[in-house]
Every structure is written in C-alpha cells, then in structure tokens.
Amino acid sequence: MHDHLTLISGRAHPALAHEIAGYLGIDLAAVEIADFPDGEISLKLNQNVRGCDVYLIQPTGPPVNTNLMELLILIDACKRASAARVTTVIPYFGYARQDRKDAGRVPITAKLVANLITEAGADRVLTMDLHAAQIQGFFDAPVDHLYAAPILDQYFDSLKLPAGEIVVLSPDEGSIKRSLRHVEHLGGTLAIVDKRRSSATETKQANLIGGPIDGKTVLIFDDMISTAGSIVGAVEVAHQSGAKDVYVSASHAVLCGPASARLREAPIRECVVTNSLPLSPEQQFPNLKSVSIAPLLGEAIRRIHSNESVSDLFD
C-alpha cells in the first residue's frame, strides 16, 4: 500500500483540482509553476513526495501543447523526487481524435501522446470519455476510463421531462451507442442524424433516421463540442422537424473558434456540459449549464489509492 495520497494540480484546471481536493478532504500539494522568458516551463515541487501515491490533475485541452508539456514535466519531477506511484488524472485527453490512419502518410498522434505520458514515468492513467475507447490500449500502463453519462443523465432526471415526450437524437452514426445508453436511462426513443463530412472542419447534415420528433423534447448528446458545427447542424435538423424543445449535452466543452456564438444563436433550450475543461468568460453564454465531475474523479482517486474496485464507476 502506497502512503500519503497526494494531489498536485497543473495550471490547466486548478478550479477542478480544488474541487477534487475538497471531496477527498485534503489540500493540494505545493508546487511552483512559471514560464521562463523564452516560453520554457519552470517547475518545482515544494513538498516531499517520496514514497507518496501522487495524482496529477491536468486536462490536456487548449492550449493543448502547453498543457501536455506541463503534464510531462510534472510526471518527471515526481518520479525524480521518488514518488511511489504517479497517476495522471486527465479528464480531457487532447489529440484523441487523431487515433487512426484514415489516409496515407498521417500520424497516429493519440498513440504518440500515450507513449510520451508513459515514457515520462506515469504508472497509471485516469481519464474520462475518450473520443475512442480503444485509445486505452495505446497506453502501456493501466487505464481507468470513466464516463460522464450518469452525471449528465442525473441532471436531465432533475428536469422531470416526461419519458413519453423525449427523443434522444444521435448527431451522427458514430454516437448511436452513446445515445442508446441515454435512452436506457432517461426513456424515450432514438433518432439519428445522417451526417456527411465535407472536410476536416466542415460537416453537413442530410437525413433524419427514426423519429418522429414533431412536438417532442429532443436531447442531443456528444462526447465533445469543439467548433459546434456538427451539434448545431443536428439542432437545426431537430428544429426543422418540429421539435418542441432541444437540449444539447457533451462531456467536454472544448468550445473553440465560433462554437459559443453558434450555440448562443441556435434554437437551444439549454447546453449542458461538464467541467472537465475550464470555461473562459468569452466561452460562456446565458443557457450554458456546467455540472461537476469532481465527485466522480475524487471517488475514483480514493478507490485507486485504497486498492478498491473502480469498475462500478464506469457505468
């Protein structure tokens, strides 16, 4: 058994790290992180971690490369300071969309990043809603892969939406399994948007499969909202098909480029996301709702530290 559960936060999302520490009833470890004038990262642990069970909390969202490099440096510092075990807590795993060779002469960057994390010295990885579940196999270390779906479903349960009026609309064919899990919990029926991609950044929506959704409350779930093109396209399909209300929800609010403006202008009742990534004032809009994953991550950390089963948190 490793001694002394130790939480360390990088600069990517200190607010979430403080929430997790609060759930566990401990303080975050003291660490100094700054930037040299040339952009290099300066880091120093200000407390002893020798023999400790260390958890590094650092989502690798925008700026992805900076946050990833900072995570690697944190791992190295802890290993060189003789930590007994280092677990990287990565609520949002950047580069996850580059998980396969879908054309000639392209990298599999998700595998490269997994290699970097394990080579830096990570003994274990705790993450949530990977873009593709098989990325777990890219790591040469144990991976605990959590899902935000129960937390999001709990929020929608609180709205007391009549099950007979709910249609869960999958924004594309790849999200059908995710959407079915929400149907199993929330009730209602399933419909699918037939999405066609026209380029790496542009998608267009074609046909609606299933339904009908006329006069129904439509819930659209995705793993992330990046530029919001796909999910707003699905909202427009739902609206044109006569939906009474449309809610959109995602585990990760990347919200880059025109995303917030698109969501603000779309006919959406509410956009529900988790706090796996920090939200800047510029990214926020009136009907954006954030629910916390700190209790989920905190409980997973507690169980890993105590060598208890984590598997029932996966569902």
Cα dist from 221 to 97, 130, 190, 246, 271, whole Å:
17, 14, 12, 11, 10
Cα dist from 172 to 8, 63, 211, 284, whole Å:
38, 27, 14, 25
Spatial distance between the Cα atoms of 298 and 115, rounded to a whole number of angstroms:
26
Q: Which helix (H) or strand (E) holds 75?
A: helix 64-80
Rg (C-alpha) for the chain, rounded Å, is 20
Q: Are 20 and 1 in contact (CB under 8 A)?
A: no
Beta strand pairing call for 189-197 and 203-210: antiparallel
Tokens of 49: 């971690």
Catalytic residue annotation = 195
Closest CA to 233 of 174, 153, 169: 169
Spatial distance between the Cα atoms of 229 and 190, rounded to a whole number of angstroms:
21
In 118-230, which ranges are E strands? 124-128, 143-146, 166-170, 189-197, 203-210, 217-225
